[in-house]
Amino acid sequence: MDRLTASANERPGVKPFGLLMLTRYPEPGRTKTRLIPHLGAEGAATLQRQMTEHVLTQVTAAAQHLPLAVEVHFAGGSRAQMQDWLGETVTYVAQSAGGLGDRLIAAFSQSFALGRPGAIAIGSDCPALGADHLSSALQALERVDVAIGPATDGGYYLIGLRQLEPALFQAIDWGTERVLEQTLAAATAQGLTVELLAPLSDVDYPEDLPQWERIARGNR
């Protein structure tokens, strides 16, 4: 696994939160697989590439005025391929082996090992995510243990922590409409306080594509 180091552009005297963006190198046939029947393998990979670029642009812009250190946690491809694709202004780390819960635990653990006061994990499939949502998450984490951005499909597009909480990522039925419900139940069982942010929609299925098309038109 690639070693994660502190970002070179962190502000002196200000310890930022880690902004952990989990994504995948856009290799046809291995990404956005639920959209392959609709878009084809090449089309699904193109969508993955475009949405990742969009979300990364949003969060790196937000990090210019919020205490966030952007870390791209990637699966597939190599560090060199990721840098060729997304540039060298953010930190890259290969995702660990295992399921999504294992990979989230590892990503948070690596970020907290740098002495971060907190960390926020996001994916690359919620193109409506912007600086306001990240700011709301940071504000929530001043009050509570866990900040969660609910997705309209029953999952979540963001989860922020003040310390590592592995129980939130264990025994979760990932990819189902029960993810948020189970995560909230785990938080309650651990005695953790939670604040929910504004809900947003992920782009996972053909019926979600109009959301991305509207955003893409705005980008153009």
Residue 36 DSSP SS3: helix
Is 4 part of any domain? no
> Which residue, chain included where needed, has tokens 């504004």?
198
Is 9 part of any domain? no
Residues 163 and 161: their CA atoms lie apart, in Å, by 5
* 191 has pLDDT over 80: yes
Alpha-carbon distance values, 67 to 17, 21, 30, 104, 123 (Å): 6, 15, 33, 21, 19
Is 8 part of any domain? no
Q: Give CA torsion, residues 181, 186, 192, 196, to 10 deg.
A: -20
Is 66 part of any domain? yes
Residue 9: predicted pLDDT: 46
Going by pLDDT thresholds of 50, 70 and 90, the confidence category of residue 7 is very low
Whether the Cβ atoms of residue 182 and residue 171 lie closer than 8 Å to each other = yes
Is 12 part of any domain? no
Is 119 part of any domain? yes
- Supply the pTM of this predicted model: 0.92
Going by pLDDT thresholds of 50, 70 and 90, the confidence category of residue 1 is very low
Is 11 part of any domain? no
> How do residues 38-89 score in pLDDT, each as one tens digit?
999 999 999 999 999 999 999 999 999 999 999 999 999 999 999 999 999 8
Q: Which domain holds residue 139?
A: 17-219
Q: For residue 186, how far is the Cα from the chain centroid?
A: 20
Total count of domains within the chain: 1
Give the Cβ contact number of residue 172 at 10 Å.
Answer: 22
Nearest to 195 by CA among 155, 143, 156: 143
Residue 2: predicted pLDDT: 44
What CATH number is attached to the domain comprising 103? Answer: 3.90.550.10
